[in-house]
């Protein structure tokens, strides 16, 4: 059995099998690869490289997608007139 490594996915620590690729991780998480962006240690990956990039100990992976939003979603003021 492959060695287990520790990685971080969307800020959460997670055990992962050594040699597993980004595509494997997405598949394990039941995330379809279209419509997501993956950042590996701050580098945005090309979708066609998901299957080639294997993850290493300490890697930080961010998986992002689209959610509902208009403007200024974060830190929105309460909207009351002052």
Question: Is 52 an interacting residue with respect to other proteins (CB under 8 A)?
Answer: no
Spatial contact of 62 and 81, defined as CB atoms under 8 Å apart? no
Task: Name residues whose C-beta falls within 8 Å of residue 14's C-beta, 6 or more positions apart in sequence.
Answer: 6, 7, 8
CA distance 38 to 8: 13
**Residues 12-51: x/- map of binding to other proteins (CB under 8 A)?**
x----------------xxx--xxxxxx----xxxx----
CB of 12 to other proteins, least distance (A): 7
Binding site for other proteins (CB under 8 A): 9-12, 29-31, 34-39, 44-47, 62-77, 79, 81
């Amino acid at each position: 059995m492959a060695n287990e490594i520790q990685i971080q996915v969307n800020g959460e620590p997670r055990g992962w099998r050594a040699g597993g690729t980004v595509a494997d991780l997405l598949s394990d998480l039941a995330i379809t690869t279209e419509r997501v962006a993956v950042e590996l240690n701050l580098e945005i990956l090309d979708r066609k490289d998901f299957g080639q990039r294997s993850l290493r100990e300490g890697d930080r992976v961010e998986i992002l997608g689209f959610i509902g939003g208009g403007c200024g979603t974060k830190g929105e003021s309460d909207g009351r007139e002052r």
